[in-house]
């Protein structure tokens, strides 16, 4: 690959990191996809990354399919290449994108799983609130369900970023994007109880800037929260695969079923693209049918 190709790709990475604010994990995924395409070009084409054609990209996607790479992973490869070539166009390195008119591989609609209100209540009844860890875990479940934040956002949540009055949390999500997420009275009450009766007992005379802590003041890990949720789900008799992310799905689902608008849910979830949030609209179909049957003059 020519030095100009290396330089152009590096400029793209700098753009993603500085201007788009993408996380190192996302940058790594872009890099992996692009370098796989570079390797493909070296072996199978006379083109380099800048002179690659629509046919080169299509052949690369066929090559990935033959290696039994999943449709969703092939779609991600194409999205990465689209981003690269759109950047090249914007920087006037090329005139048009060879990836522009290639259709994404059919991935099928993977609908998010979620808990019913009854299952949420059963899950919240599971922690033993006579113990400091139980009080903490109850607050964690309430906050995950009340806000829809990611578990990584919860484990990184600073105590100073939880505002009891008027009731919201300041969250730093993917790409270090900051957003304010409102929380309801149940979560406020649960976190208040944790702060008053549990946190200092868990800290054991140590200090921590994190809102939620483990024994001896250690920060909680995502794995620890995941493990506890599994235990509580089993105790509650919930057969679904319960994880922190299913509480995020439940948050979005129940908001939309209750009449929340898609844009507001997008902002609270921290989705950069509204299309990502639209996956949840399927869950409102039963609710819409009820509204239609109740109010339409020719139901």
Is 194 known to be catalytic? Answer: no
Closest CA to 142 of 195, 94, 96: 195
Q: Is 67 exposed, middle or buried (0-12, 13-18, 19+ CB in 10 A)?
A: exposed
Catalytic pick from 30, 145, 232, 280?
280
Catalytic pick from 60, 136, 150, 254?
150
Is 174 known to be catalytic? Answer: yes
Catalytic pick from 170, 222, 230, 245?
245
Is 150 known to be catalytic? Answer: yes
Question: What is the Cβ-side half-sphere exposure of residue 213, based on CA atoms within 13 angstroms?
Answer: 22
Closest CA to 121 of 186, 185, 184: 186
Is 199 known to be catalytic? Answer: no
Q: Residue 261 — φ and ψ, nearest 5°? A: -90, 150
Does the CA dihedral 15-17-20-24 come out positive or negative?
positive
Q: Residue 127 — φ and ψ, nearest 5°? A: -65, 145
Is 245 known to be catalytic? Answer: yes
Distance of alpha carbon 288 from alpha carbon 299, whole angstroms:
12
Q: Beginning with the edge strand found earlier in the chain, give each strand of the sheet holding 168-172 in spatial order.
A: 162-163, 168-172, 178-182
Question: What is the Cβ-side half-sphere exposure of residue 59, based on CA atoms within 13 angstroms?
Answer: 14
Is 76 known to be catalytic? Answer: no
Catalytic pick from 129, 248, 249, 254?
248
DSSP bridge pairs for 181: 169
Catalytic pick from 54, 170, 174, 218?
174
With vertex at residue 129, the alpha carbon angle to CA 127 and CA 133, rounded to the nearest 5 degrees, is 75
Which residues are annotated as catalytic? 150, 174, 245, 248, 271, 280
């Amino acid at each position: 690959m020519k030095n100009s190709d290396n330089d152009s790709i590096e400029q793209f990475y700098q753009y993603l990191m500085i201007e788009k604010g993408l996380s190192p994990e996302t940058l790594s995924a872009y890099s992996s996809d692009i370098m796989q395409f570079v390797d493909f070009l070296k072996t199978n084409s006379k083109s380099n990354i800048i002179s690659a054609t629509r046919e080169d990209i299509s052949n690369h996607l066929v090559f990935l399919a033959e290696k039994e790479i999943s449709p969703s992973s092939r779609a991600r490869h194409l999205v990465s290449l689209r981003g690269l070539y759109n950047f090249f166009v914007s920087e006037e390195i090329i005139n048009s994108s060879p990836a522009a008119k290639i259709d994404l591989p059919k991935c099928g609609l993977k609908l998010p799983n979620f808990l019913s209100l009854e299952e949420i209540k059963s899950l919240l009844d599971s922690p033993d609130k006579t113990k400091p860890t139980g009080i903490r875990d109850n607050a964690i479940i309430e906050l995950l369900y009340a806000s829809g934040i990611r578990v990584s956002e919860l484990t990184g949540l600073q105590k100073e970023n939880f505002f009891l009055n008027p009731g919201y949390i300041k969250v730093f999500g993917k790409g270090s994007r900051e957003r304010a997420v409102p929380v309801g009275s149940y979560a406020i009450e649960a976190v208040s109880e944790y702060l008053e009766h549990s946190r200092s007992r868990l800290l054991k005379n140590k200090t921590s800037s994190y809102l939620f802590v483990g024994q001896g003041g250690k920060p909680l890990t995502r794995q620890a929260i995941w493990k506890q949720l599994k235990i509580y789900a089993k105790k509650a008799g919930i057969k679904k695969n319960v994880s922190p992310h299913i509480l995020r799905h439940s948050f979005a689902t129940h908001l939309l079923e209750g009449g929340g608008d898609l844009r507001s849910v997008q902002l609270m979830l921290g989705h950069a693209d509204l299309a990502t949030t639209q996956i949840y609209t399927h869950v409102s179909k039963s609710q819409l049918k009820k509204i239609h049957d109740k109010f339409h003059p020719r139901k």
